[in-house]
Structure 1
Amino acid sequence: MKKSLLVSFFIFMVVMIHSPSFASAEKYIVIDPGHGGKFSGTSGYSGAETGFYEKVGTLEIGLKLKEKLEETDIKVFMTRQTDRDFANDSKEDLIERMNVANGFANGNNDNSLFISIHHNAYPFSTLVKGYETYYYSKAAAWDEEYPPDPMQVNFESESRRLASIVHPQVLNKTGLLDKGIQNDQAFFVIRNAQMPSVLVELGYMSNPSEESLIKTSRFQNDAAEALAQAAINFFKVFEVKDSSGKEIKQFTSRDDAITFAKTLNNVTVFDKDKQETIYDSTKVNYDVYIKGKSKAVSFTELSDAINYAKDRNNTKVIDKKKGTVEWSNYLTRPYQIRSKDGSSKGSYFEKSQAITAAKAMKDVKVVNRSSAETLWTNISGEQVTKTLNVKALAGSDRFETAVKISKEIYPQGFKDNKNEKTVVLTNGLGYADALSVGPLAAQLGNAPILLTRSSSLDPFAEQEIKRLGADKVLLIGGKSAISTTVEKQVKGLGVTAERIGGANRYETNLMINERLDHVEGVFVANGLSYADALASSPIASASDWAILLTDKKELSAEALSYVKGQDTAILGGEAVISSNLEEQLKNSNGSNVKRLAGETRYETLAAILDEYNDEMVSDTVLLSIGQDFPDALVSSSLAVQTGAPLILVHDALNSSVQDVLFEYGMENRVTTLFTVGGKVQEKPKSQVANRLY
């Protein structure tokens, strides 16, 4: 029968707060073949005699629509697939029908649509015919007795858009008379659908000729084809959304959507068809660095980052998530794809980039350009000639990690003929006294550095002293750092215990330095911050340089006397070593004073590594975290043994340190990467490893 405003009653419905999914949702359609079971719909012109009621035609079209859409990436649901009803009462039937429909869309409402299929009738004339599309508009069809679902009110613009897509498709495909898009009817199903929705009246069954048409398989197929295409087209839009997921504007052009989004901050562009976010300025995906600068300019799109970098000198673009170099106008591309005949098929900044590209080619290999060694190949008979052994030196805590390093250096303990069988023991919970001990440990026959607690000798350290076969333990720090109890425990192991400890860290530092047999130069570092001193320790230990600790403002007379006449390198910027202290040194040592500094501890590390790159020539690299001292502290003896640089990282490899590793990896055939301690994250470890192939 003709469906004017359906009589129903108000149902209180709890409205779910909906946050649209940007990347993992699916496209849904809920097909609702109108009526069913005891609710047959209009009998039309001849249905009472033939049995072809409205419910029959709508189900035929609905099933054909389902079949067509199942060939697409739209997930299809139907309120009914047989001749059934949902309740004995017509009002309850509609309520339950929409509970079923809305249940399908629950949680994915933004990416769902609802099409209710019907045929029309006009009891007063058999001449009326044509096609109408309905959507719900609160302004045009408000009835206080029959309020709409609040979610449908919010979806009104999308329902209107769906109607505007469905209507011409159906007209063009079926040839029905155009009776327009309507929004003045509050049909229960469209006003209570919790997703964009339309109701289609596919011809008048009260019109004999139109009823005959509706019964044909061809018409049913054409109507289903039109609705399927409309559903497909409905999703072909690009939504610009704010950070909460609220849509700001919608576009049919990808480029227009992204162009508009770039005028805003903290927005996304969602490709509704592919169900993926294609632009996201709520996240920073790429950083542009200028060489020697710690701060980056961030971009969402790689193309934007590269365009910005191209206009500037000494720049590179880093993928923040991967930590990979994507573009640069000053770095060398270390990795090359070569064919069988040796011709180049492209050069890359990252090994992973080269291998990914090479996998799409035949009979090629990826080589390190400087060494010509093969890193990957699919050429028959060719072999990989360069690998990197990544080895973790990590214990259950810092005390065991120190032992792991000692065992790496002396796997069989001290040899019987070793002149110096000394172990350096320092407080593992405070760095004050031990920052400068690396060079002394190196000169004591490369003594391993072990850690202990203040009040009692750590069991890991105790067992290692025994295993090594040490005859002497050098205690670093006063009795507050290493107690007399520890000293007695050490002596109880049958070894000599000697203490180097002053009234404070600076006195202890001078006492350590005075024990050095030979000094080629002096690093001056802030004694209240461990980062810069630790960064220099492997180089100082391997090169006979001392590490002199000071406060920020000035050197003591004793410290100034110690450094006088020496080549001197100040570590860190003026935030840690003042310009006044630098003047003190220059007045004493003249042109032999230089400052190695960056905006962060990692930039300073890069400056140190770059300045003394000739001192670090090795097939090994050490890697540890830069936010804590113990793992890096005990690494200096391993650095002395291997000649390796110590790389300090946080959650990613610093840009300037990365540049140093670019050069180091090309100039040295690195075969081993030691990660010291268990706190090095996978991302920086991978970044460092990739630079060393």
Structure 2
Amino acid sequence: MKIRFIISSFVFILMLFQLPSFANAEKFIVIDPGHGGSFTGTAGYSGNKTGFYEKVGTLKIGLKLREELKGTDIKVFMTRSTDRDFANDQKEDLIERTKIANQYVKGNNNNSLFISIHHNAYPYSTLVRGYETYYYSKASAWDAEYPPDPIQVGFESESRRLANTVHPLVLKETGLQDKGIHNDQAFYVIRNTQMPSVLVELGYMSNPSEESLIKTSRFQNDAAESLAKAAINFFKVFEVKDEKGKVIKQFTSRDEAINYAKKLSNVTVFDKDKQKTIYDSINKRYEVFVKGKDTVKAFTELSDAIQYADDQKNAKVMDQKTGTVEWSNYLDRPYQIQDEKGSSQGNYYELSQAKKAADSMKNMKIIKRSTGDILWTNISGVEITKSVDVSSLSGIDRFETAVKTSMEIYPNGFKDNKAEKTVILTDGFGYADALSVGPLAAQLGNAPILLTRTSALDPFAEDEIKRLKADKVILIGGPNAISPSVETKVKKLGVAVERIGGEDRYETNLMINKKLDKDLKGVFVANGYSYADALASAPIASSANWSILLSDKDGLSDQALDYLEGKQTKVLGGEAVMSPTIERQLSDLNGASSVERLAGDDRYETLAAIVSEFRNEMKSDTVLLSIGKDFPDALVSSSLSVKSGAPLILVNDDLNSSVQDVLWEYGMDNRVTSLLTIGGRVEEQAKNQVLNRLY
């Protein structure tokens, strides 16, 4: 039997810092051919004469094991692949060998295993023979002189499972005598490696016949093959984990693991072999939505989500990972696969779904059912008839983005015969004064809206005023919003300057609205301290001849009521941002039939309600897209809406369900060929979700 070594701590050698560290989820194995270099291991029965020491046999098997695993998805590392040692002292050699092994799997310990290959010897008899497998157990091998690595202690059950996987396979392939699985030895490498670990003693070299067997290629191949099979089989389990990633229970059957997990809450099932989560009740993938409402319920399994949704009215199931509709009982399937003769081969909710299905078929095309446009084809001679051009207006900051938007509207500046050559200039860091300026810009010949800094005229805005050849600039806000020095600088550009600014945002808002034509169709009433709803309405107000009135959330002022008398009104936002008192005031003022609330659970739901209400007012081949978490990019886009008739869609990291439905309807009613993003902060998933609704 081999002796244990008392090991002290040691400093990392330079080589250790050059080894790779992996944090990704892959399957790793560290093969450790025992001994090496000056540490020969046992000489066995004849090694002193023949030179075939333990280190020779272990390296041969280790290299063959690496070859056996080459065609698998297990990434192989070796502590040594040549006849080498790691230090001048045998104790230090073991320390460095183990440190190298641990560094290989750092960050991926749970998906790694360690096999240390050895041959045994018994100095008192040449008759002892057989095969043993060792793993570390703190309870069985604890000794204060040989403290284990705490991480290895945590892996005891997995080390035991690895031993139970390795042992029978080695016995079967090599034919060695069974000397059992042991956990009563504190061998350094298996008590200090930070992953499931075993040490295998592949026969006794002190036994002449077993030593002769160990030297043969056949035995070495059989041993390597059995260890490879064990490594592969070790990963073929399914782990049920809690929300902290702790393994609750392990199964060899996928169905048993999932069925067990379904009885619990906030768990995942991890396929250790495929290295992927196959069930997740923590981050549920499939969400059921009911039209006009937020998420109703989330599910791990698509089939469960569909079963639940089927009992609801106006429901759909969304795959949150891909952002696609997987099932609905109220949405049409817009995309159809057709063969060469025009016969339907299936209808789909998403173009991506149709493409995936059609890609495996011959001579097919995908059409949009509402227009007949060909969106994709693999039929020779058939051409695509519609695509959506995706472009972006984005500068290095909000000020340049505003200028790029202006340049999109007026690429050659103002025409000489243009009646109104006016520019709106507003504070780029405060939304309060500018929220309602869109309709005024529209009535001033669709004046571009530029942004400036409070204390100094922004250079981008200055250059754009010159390029446009404007003859008038309207400053929005008082001196605290746009300083007198900015006004002076603008005047020096040789343009007329007008300032619209009151004591506060509400007075400025009323001053803006009183400059509008008297034949307004209506007024949007929005919270003056929450920019989202006013921003959402600005493009529609600008295009449809409505104004925007800003109000305190608790009630309308006398001045606001004077302005609203006799006008149709839409209150924007839920009761948390606009109290019922406002509706009552408007109802008392103009009658209940003159007031309506457009609202949802959040800004995006409210946006959906606004766009849906005015869907007939916005007809265009273009859709504008911007971020809903900040105001400046969306603020300057209302003039683009006036030019193109396009709606402005606001998104977060992904596309809101109700906004998606509005786009679905818009894409069916309009042949959209352009998606224009304002600003550069729209996430790709959100952009792709919007784009998918427009094909």
What is the TM-score with the length of structure 2 in the denominator? Answer: 0.87
Task: From the superposition, tell whether residues 41 and 673 of structure 1 become closer, same or farther in structure 2 (CA, over 3 Å).
Answer: same
Tell me whether 1:440 sits opposite 2:440 in the alignment: yes
Q: For 2:233, what is the secondary structure of its paired residue?
A: helix
Instruction: Check 1:221–1:549 CA distance in 2 against 1; reply closer, same or farther (3 A cut).
Output: closer
* C-alpha displacement of 1:673: 2.0
Match of 1:567 in 2: 568
User: How far, CA to CA, are the matches of 2:410 and 2:84 in structure 1?
Assistant: 82
Q: Is the 8 A contact 1:30 1:104 kept in 2?
A: no
- 1:132 is displaced (CA, Å) by 3.2
Following TM superposition, by how much is the alpha carbon of 1:356 offset from its aligned partner in structure 2, in angstroms?
3.3
Q: 1:213 to 1:667 in 2, by over 3 A?
A: same
SS in 1 for 2:7: coil
Distance 2:487 2:39 in 1: 95
Matched, 1:451 2:448: no
User: Comparing 496-505 with 207-216, which one deviates more in the overlay?
Assistant: 207-216
Secondary structure, counterpart of 2:165 in structure 1: helix
Displacement of 1:656 after TM fit? Answer: 1.0
The reply on whether 1:290 has 2:290 as its aligned counterpart is yes
1:594-613 to structure 2, matched below 5 A, reads: 594-613=596-615
Paired residue for 1:386? 386
In structure 2, the residue matched to 1:27 is: 28
Match of 1:677 in 2: 679
| Aligned mates of 1:527, 1:460 — CA distance in 2 | 28
Match in the other structure for 1:643: 645
User: Alignment partner of 2:325: what SS?
Assistant: strand
Contact 2:140 2:183 in 1 (8 A): yes
In structure 2, the residue matched to 1:360 is 360
Distance 1:496 1:301, change over 3 A: same
Take 1:292 and 1:578, find their aligned partners in 2: how far apart are those partners?
Answer: 21
- Native 8 Å contact 2:10 2:92 kept in 1: no
Change (3 A) 1:257 1:481: same
1:519 aligns with 2:516: no
Q: Which moved more, 1:654-663 or 1:359-368?
A: 359-368
Alpha-carbon deviations, 1:134-180, whole Å to 9, x = none? 33333223344444444443332222212212222233333444333
Per the alignment, in what secondary structure is the counterpart of residue 141 of structure 2? coil
Deviation at 1:380, TM superposition (A): 1.4
Alpha-carbon distance change, 369 to 37 in structure 1, aligned in 2, over 3 angstroms: same
Amino acid at match of 1:667: D
Alignment of 1:264-343 (within 5 A): 264=264, 267-281=267-281, 283=283, 285-295=285-295, 297-343=297-343
> Which residue type is aligned with residue 615 of structure 1?
E
Report the CA distance between 1:661 and its aligned residue.
Answer: 0.5
Matches within 5 A, 1:70-469: 70-79=70-79, 98=98, 104-105=104-105, 108-110=108-110, 111-121=112-122, 123-124=124-125, 126=127, 128-204=128-204, 210=210, 213-214=213-214, 216-264=216-264, 267-281=267-281, 283=283, 285-295=285-295, 297-469=297-469
Letter of the structure 1 residue corresponding to residue 67 of structure 2: E
**Could you say which residue in structure 1 is the equivalent of 2:533?**
532
For 1:77 and 1:398, the matched residues in 2 are separated by 51
Aligned residue number for residue 656 of structure 2: 654
Structure (1 or 2) with the larger CA radius of gyration = 1
The 2-side partners of 1:125 and 1:344 are apart by 80
1:625 to 617, 624, 627: 627
Greater shift, 72-81 or 391-400, is seen at 72-81
2:7 is matched with 10
Tell me, yes or no, if the aligned pair for 1:25 and 1:108 is still in contact at 8 Å.
Answer: yes
- The alignment partner of 1:258 has SS state of helix
Tell me by how many angstroms 1:537 deviates: 1.9
8 Å Cα contact 1:375/1:384 also seen in 2? yes
1:21 Cα deviation after fit: 7.6
Q: 1:663 to 1:174 in 2, by over 3 A?
A: same
* Partner secondary structure for residue 614 of structure 1: coil
In 2: Cα distance, 1:451 partner to 1:38 partner = 75
Is 2:506 the counterpart of 1:506? yes
Indicate the residue corresponding to 2:594 in structure 1.
592
Q: Write the distance in 2 (CA, Å) between the matches of 1:501 and 1:492.
A: 21
Identical-residue share of aligned pairs (%) = 67
Q: Aligned partners of 1:60, 1:487: CA distance in 2, in Å?
A: 84
Q: What is the root-mean-square deviation in Å for CA atoms of aligned residues?
A: 3.5
Aligned residues: 685
- 3-state DSSP class of the match of 2:118? strand
Distance 1:169 1:647, change over 3 A: same
Pair 113,301 (structure 1): closer, same or farther in 2 beyond 3 Å: farther
Please give the alpha-carbon distance, in whole angstroms, between the structure 1 residues aligned to 2:205 and 2:396: 80
8 A Cα contact 1:373 1:386, kept in partner: yes
Does the 8 Å CA contact 1:470/1:495 hold for their aligned counterparts? Answer: yes
CA shift in 2, pair 1:220/1:667, >3 Å: same
CA deviation after TM superposition for structure 1 residue 668, in Å:
0.3
> Is the CA contact 1:31–1:76 (under 8 Å) kept in the aligned structure 2?
no
Give the CA deviation at 1:638.
1.9
Partner AA of 1:540 in structure 2: A
Gapped runs of 5+ residues in structure 2?
Answer: none
Q: Provide the rounded CA distance (Å) in 2 between the counterparts of 1:462 and 1:224.
A: 75
When normalised by structure 1's length, the TM-score is 0.88
Query: How many Å separate the matches in 2 of 1:573 and 1:27?
Result: 54
Q: Are residues 533 and 347 of structure 1, via their aligned partners in 2, closer, same or farther at CA, if it must alter by over 3 Å?
A: same
Q: Shift of the alpha carbon at 1:518?
A: 1.6
Describe the SS at the equivalent of 1:360: coil
String of CA shifts for 1:550-579, please: whole Å, max 9, x gaps.
Answer: 222333344334333332222122222221
Q: Structure 1 residues 38 and 520, CA, compared in 2 at 3 Å: closer, same or farther?
A: closer
Distance 1:562 1:113 in 2: 79
Distance 1:59 1:478, change over 3 A: closer
After TM superposition, the structure 1 stretch with the greater mean CA deviation from structure 2, 544-553 or 319-328, is 319-328
2: CA distance between counterparts of 1:261 and 1:397?
49
Asked whether the 8 Å contact 2:288–2:318 carries over to 1, the reply is yes
Q: Please, which runs of 5 or more residues in structure 1 have no aligned partner?
A: none
CA contact (8 A) 1:29 1:74 kept: no
Q: CA deviation at 1:613?
A: 0.5
Q: Which residue of 2 aligns with 1:634?
A: 636
Partner of 1:663: 665
Residue identity in the other structure for 1:686: N
- Shifted more, 476-485 versus 130-139: the winner is 476-485
Cα distance, 1:116–1:190 mapped onto 2, change above 3 Å: farther
